[in-house]
Amino acid sequence: MARRKSKAKQEEEFIQGVMSLAAIGSLALTYTLTKSFQASIIVCILVVAVVIAILISRKLQHQERLKKSGIAEIDKMEGVQFEQYLGHLFRSQGYKAEVTQAAGDYGADLILTKDGKRIVVQAKRYSKNVGLKAVQEVRGAVSHYGATGAWVVTNRDYTDQAYKLAKSNSVRLIGREELVEMLLHMREKTTASKKAANTKTSA
């Protein structure tokens, strides 16, 4: 099955392409203005050095962001652990989260309720991209649980087929990048709550 590139990978490739054009452009422009091949090479080297510095900086920022989110720990979890952790994550967002039975879950690992709406969630803690089977399973759970929405959550990403089927069946796909954002937000809220509690105690 085809695999979609992650958002971070797409952004990195885009930046590399733009910077490569900038290096070639600077070489051509400098030579046009100075008619000096030596000056053009120096400017091109400087531009390439800036490109490398930017890419290294972005990579370090991305790695720090992943470290803060705790996604590495999630990658090591068992399936049931992942489901329970997602229950905790969604509760931090104001949902009432119920983890279904490990066997005979009828396509839903979690049931979320909020503002009178019920959402069935299929959790996939994988080491590869998730295929369309997960979309089929969670879509089938909608009627059984009387849900108004269906989500699939994974620590990875999804195949093109999964994206296409999800779009035609109104299934929300939450991949690695969005999950990292949710984890960071939960940790920020937890940190803020602890600070507020400490301030209240010391006052």
Mean of the per-residue pLDDT values of the chain: 84
CATH of the domain spanning 77-196: 3.40.1350.10
Q: Phi/psi of residue 189, each to 5°? A: -65, -40
Please name which of 108, 86, 103 lies closest in space to residue 182, comparing C-alpha atoms: 86
CA angle 145, 139, 99 (to 5 degrees): 50
pTM of the model: 0.70
Segment 99-154, tens digit of pLDDT: 997 656 788 999 999 999 999 999 999 999 999 999 999 999 999 999 999 999 99
Indicate the angle between helix axes 160-168 and 132-145, nearest 10 degrees: 30
Q: Is the pLDDT of residue 196 over 70?
A: no
Q: Rounded mean pLDDT of 49-64?
A: 76
For every residue of 50-93, DSSP letters joined together read HHHHHHHHHHHHHHHHHHHHTHHHHHT--HHHHHHHHHHHHHTT
